[in-house]
Amino acid sequence: MSRTERLLQLLQILRRHRQAVSGQNLAQELNISLRTFYRDIATLQGQGADIAGEAGVGYVLRPGYLMPPLMFSQTEMDALMLGMRWGATFADASLSKAAIDALAKIAAVLPTEQRNNMGAVPLRVGPPASPLFQTEDLSMLRDAIRRERKVEISYRNGAAKQSTRTVWPFAIGYFPDCRIVVAWCEKREAFRHFRTDRLLACTVLDTHYPRRRDEMFRTWKRTVAHSTDN
pLDDT at position 228 is 52
Residue 27 placed within a domain: yes
User: Around 125, how many Cα atoms within 13 Å sit in the side-chain half-sphere?
Assistant: 18
The total domain count for the chain is: 3
Residue 39 placed within a domain: yes
pLDDT at position 66 is 55
Residue 133 placed within a domain: no
DSSP state of 93: H
pLDDT at position 219 is 95
Domain end, chosen from 61, 85, 102, is at: 61
- pLDDT tens-place values along the chain, 230 residues long: 678 778 888 888 888 887 889 999 999 999 999 999 999 999 888 877 888 887 778 999 887 665 555 567 778 888 888 899 888 888 899 999 999 888 888 887 777 777 777 777 777 787 777 777 778 899 999 999 999 999 999 999 999 999 999 999 999 998 888 899 999 999 999 999 999 999 999 999 999 999 999 999 999 999 887 665 54
Q: Are 203 and 167 in contact (CB under 8 A)?
A: no
The reported pTM is: 0.65
Residue 161 placed within a domain: yes
Judge if 142 and 124 occupy the same domain. Answer: no
**Residues belonging to the chain:** 230
pLDDT at position 230 is 43
Judge if 198 and 218 occupy the same domain. Answer: yes
The domain of 36 spans 3-61
Distance between CA atoms of residues 66 and 3, nearest Å = 19
Judge if 53 and 82 occupy the same domain. Answer: no
Q: Exposed, middle or buried, 181 (CB in 10 Å: 0-12/13-18/19+)?
A: buried
